[in-house]
Structure 1
Amino acid sequence: MTNRTLSRGLLLLMSTATGLAVAGNYFAQPLLDLISRELALTTGAAALLVTAAQGGYALGLILLVPLGDLVERRRLAVILYALTALFLLVSATAATGPILLAGTVLTALTSVAAQVIVPFAATLADPAERGKVVGTVMTGLLLGLLLARTASGALSELGGWRTVYWVNAGLMLLMAVLLRIYLPRLHTRAGLSYPALLRSIFTLLREEPVLRWRAGIGALALGSFSVLWTALTFLLVQQPYGWSESSIGLFGLVGAAGALTATIAGRLADRGHVQAVTAAGTMLMLASWLPLAAGARSLIWLLVGVIILDLAQQAVLNSNQNVIYALRPEARNRINSAYMTSYFIGGAIGSALTSLVWVAHGWNGVVILGATLSAGTLALWTLERLTTRTPATPAAAATRPLIPAGR
């Protein structure tokens, strides 16, 4: 690495880059009805676009993110951003459902560049401010995830559902150029071959019980989150709402309120309150499904539930990351890979279950499913506290001895 300085401008660039990378996986959500009509897809087939995006992302987390512990990270990030731009063009020009599905999977696969940037920022950060830095970068990621819906809804009104894919392809190419110019070189040598590197992910899961607990909590949290955002489109296109795609996309602005908690949660983690943040997040996540249940007929309650769930999910994610990044600094990409793979597999399962539950039981079934997954996050956190000893702050990693990943 040639420069370890993390300036405010570089942090903003990294935050923006993560948001744009992850956004491509969520463009389809408010457009499912529109896409299904144009490409002659069933509701279930259209919902598979969401599942495919999360599944492709999980695959990229397993196969590509660990490369950050093997190759030079700036080069890896730039290549992945450029490939994501290319695959977005596949989606933009798709004439059939299978081609759009393929473009979605490939885009998701390489958009894990966002998860190369997050531990990159954590490594550049001062240990005492790592929670704040991770929170800032994750704010960008969550804003991209949520505002993708707003952007896709608005752009679909201007030029059809394909427009957002064209626009994001251009932005991803721009990010590749900017990251190549401004990111410092960073190469942390794991001393392992690629197959051994992948095997070491499972070694880390086996040897770090806190990582296992947090991976489970994260999977259930994103599962619950995905239940809401997958079903929300179907709820809002029917009566009593009957909203257009652009109106549905505006719900992303409501959900973006949750992103504002990321830096706050990070600061609390830096001060040793990471467990309190997790506890509050899991409890609020479960409580959010009460107003969401009433949201089938009341827009006010629906808004309240969406805001609470987003706030809670972001608090859980940020506290989880601060805990796991404190475990083994020399294996941060592989730890992030293990955690985020579980995280997005949970999201993919949540989306897949939602399409089935919606068809069979409607919004009431969706609420029960989401609440059950949320209750699981609280149960797992309670079990973790009873069975393991979790580092209080990410700064603890600064004084913890480095342990070879293949011990």
Structure 2
Amino acid sequence: MQTNAQNPRLTSAILWLMAVLSGLVVANNYYNQPLLGLIAADFQVTESTVSKIAVLTQIGYAFGLLFIVPLGDKLWRKKLILVDLALVILALLFMAFAQQLMGLFIASFFIGVTSVIPQLFVPMAAELSSPEEKSVNIGMVMSGLLIGILLSRFFSGVIGELWGWRTMFEIAAGMMILAWLLVYRYLPELRPNFKGSYGSLMQSVWQLAKTQPVLQLASFRGAMGFGAMSAVFTTLVFHMEGDPFNAGSSVVGGFGLIGAVGALAAAFVGRLVQRFTRYQLIYYALLILLLSWVFIYFGGYTYWGLIIGIILIDLGLQSSHIMNQSDFFALPTNATNRLNTVYMVSYFIGGSLGTYLGAVGWQYAGWTGVCFVGTVFSVSAFSAHVLLGRVFLMKNK
């Protein structure tokens, strides 16, 4: 979508603002993962019980993507973001002060529901970019989002070990207040491009999901890839609490910092579109995702194996994620938020499924079970791309 006279120009400052805020907001969904062991000990419940916190956050995120993100096409986007940020702050404070496990479950769900703002920024970047700059600008916003995901685990692990898990959510609420002020002061407004009712808006989302094969394939690849990564990151804290690591939450969180290496490298994948087709870039990204499990499984009881595996799984997933979005944003429609809704709902349903099955795999077969789940997800993504990707991507080249 070319920039038009009704919309502001995408300056470097606005692009950086969206990238930074994307990282700050999306981090809310991942603070809980290195803290699950601390929460389990605090409430004296099992690891499988407390893992529902991560599952509910991801389900909540998918819920918010489905029912909130499409409104970016119907409402003034800046006002929508400001209201949503206020709700994020309330959900984080609820999490910080909840005294019952059910309260944590409810708070986790609503943290996920309201932390969807980055998925309003990504279509905004695509909408305001020229075709030549679209992949690069999407990669820029995604790099902020991905670094936020990965650094959130490191940050929360350290905070949790030093001051307790509740402190992390209090700090997160403070950061969201800062984000609200930055959005209010600096983010430009975008004119809505859909004038129908909310019901017809949601109906159009379903219509896109049914009629766009490029979007369908991208959504499946994204869901399977994120499911694979979610399986390992949700159970990593339990794996490293035991022999031979006997590590605390700060060490587990450090793997988020390690994964940032892969995410940073993935941010540059958009610059390769002049040399390779999207089919080729996604093919190699998913191949890297598959390769990561060799290290995660065979080197899973060594630091070096896990470090290499985590770097590769992040590099493969995030590279394919950026190219998936570049792929369907190239479709000839102005329904950018609705396209992103279909993709990201699928993405986080896959993540929720990976988190759940990863926990089941851990319960019944330990680390081997986790690796089996992750490998099945990765093979599914790669197989779908090889079987169908060339046809769809060449049509949308």
Report if TM-score (shorter chain) is over 0.5.
Answer: yes
C-alpha distance in structure 2 between counterparts of 1:106 and 1:297, whole Å? 35
C-alpha distance in structure 2 between counterparts of 1:391 and 1:254, whole Å? 37
**Structure 1 partner of 2:304:** 300
CA contact (8 A) 2:217 2:389 kept: no
CA contact (8 A) 2:279 2:393 kept: no
**Structure 2 partner of 1:80:** 84
* Matched residue SS, 1:242: coil
CA contact (8 A) 1:266 1:318 kept: yes
CA offsets per residue over residues 335-358 of structure 1, 9 Å max, x none? 000000000000000000111110
C-alpha distance in structure 2 between counterparts of 1:387 and 1:127, whole Å? 22
Counterpart selection for 1:339 from 336, 340, 343: 343
Give every structure 1 segment of 4 or more consecutive aligned residues whose post-TM-superposition deviation is greater than 6 Å.
none
Matches for 1:235-274 after TM superposition, within 5 Å? 235-269=239-273, 273-274=277-278
C-alpha distance in structure 2 between counterparts of 1:84 and 1:152, whole Å? 17
Per the TM alignment, residue 261 of structure 1 is displaced from its structure 2 partner at its CA by 2.4
**Structure 2 partner of 1:400:** none
C-alpha distance in structure 1 between counterparts of 2:269 and 2:393, whole Å? 20
Counterpart selection for 2:227 from 213, 223, 238: 223
CA contact (8 A) 1:261 1:314 kept: no
TM-score, with length taken from structure 1: 0.93
1:177 partnered with 2:181: yes
> Bigger shift: 180-189 or 380-389?
380-389
TM-score, with length taken from structure 2: 0.96
1:27 partnered with 2:31: yes
CA offsets per residue over residues 358-388 of structure 1, 9 Å max, x none? 0100111111111111011111111223543
* Matched residue SS, 2:88: helix
**Structure 1 partner of 2:152:** 148
CA contact (8 A) 1:282 1:377 kept: yes
Per the TM alignment, residue 191 of structure 1 is displaced from its structure 2 partner at its CA by 2.6
Q: Which amino acid aligns with 1:115?
A: Q
1:129 partnered with 2:136: no
Per the TM alignment, residue 57 of structure 1 is displaced from its structure 2 partner at its CA by 0.2
C-alpha distance in structure 1 between counterparts of 2:119 and 2:395, whole Å? 22
* Matched residue SS, 1:172: helix
Per the TM alignment, residue 11 of structure 1 is displaced from its structure 2 partner at its CA by 1.2
CA contact (8 A) 2:288 2:313 kept: yes
C-alpha distance in structure 2 between counterparts of 1:215 and 1:364, whole Å? 27
CA offsets per residue over residues 283-327 of structure 1, 9 Å max, x none? 111111011112332111111111111100011101100001111
Counterpart selection for 1:7 from 3, 6, 11: 11
1:188 partnered with 2:192: yes
CA contact (8 A) 2:31 2:168 kept: yes
Per the TM alignment, residue 250 of structure 1 is displaced from its structure 2 partner at its CA by 0.9
1:52 partnered with 2:45: no
C-alpha distance in structure 2 between counterparts of 1:88 and 1:75, whole Å? 20
C-alpha distance in structure 2 between counterparts of 1:329 and 1:158, whole Å? 49
CA contact (8 A) 2:6 2:191 kept: no
CA offsets per residue over residues 5-49 of structure 1, 9 Å max, x none? 222222111111111111111111111111011022221111111
* Matched residue SS, 1:71: coil
CA contact (8 A) 1:131 1:270 kept: no
Change (3 A) 1:32 1:389: closer
**Structure 1 partner of 2:102:** 98
CA offsets per residue over residues 204-236 of structure 1, 9 Å max, x none? 111111111111111000000101101211111
> Bigger shift: 125-134 or 379-388?
379-388
Change (3 A) 1:2 1:202: closer
Q: Which amino acid aligns with 2:213?
A: P
1:139 partnered with 2:143: yes
1:354 partnered with 2:358: yes
* Matched residue SS, 1:126: coil
CA contact (8 A) 2:161 2:248 kept: no
* Matched residue SS, 2:18: helix
* Matched residue SS, 2:386: helix
C-alpha distance in structure 2 between counterparts of 1:105 and 1:389, whole Å? 35
Q: What is the CA RMSD across the aligned residues, in angstroms?
A: 1.5
**Structure 2 partner of 1:405:** none
**Structure 2 partner of 1:211:** 215
**Structure 2 partner of 1:290:** 294
Per the TM alignment, residue 272 of structure 1 is displaced from its structure 2 partner at its CA by 5.5
Per the TM alignment, residue 389 of structure 1 is displaced from its structure 2 partner at its CA by 4.5
Gap regions ≥5 residues in structure 1 = 394-407
CA offsets per residue over residues 153-183 of structure 1, 9 Å max, x none? 1111332111111111111111111112211
1:378 partnered with 2:382: yes
CA contact (8 A) 1:138 1:262 kept: no
Per the TM alignment, residue 392 of structure 1 is displaced from its structure 2 partner at its CA by 5.5
C-alpha distance in structure 2 between counterparts of 1:14 and 1:344, whole Å? 21
* Matched residue SS, 2:335: helix
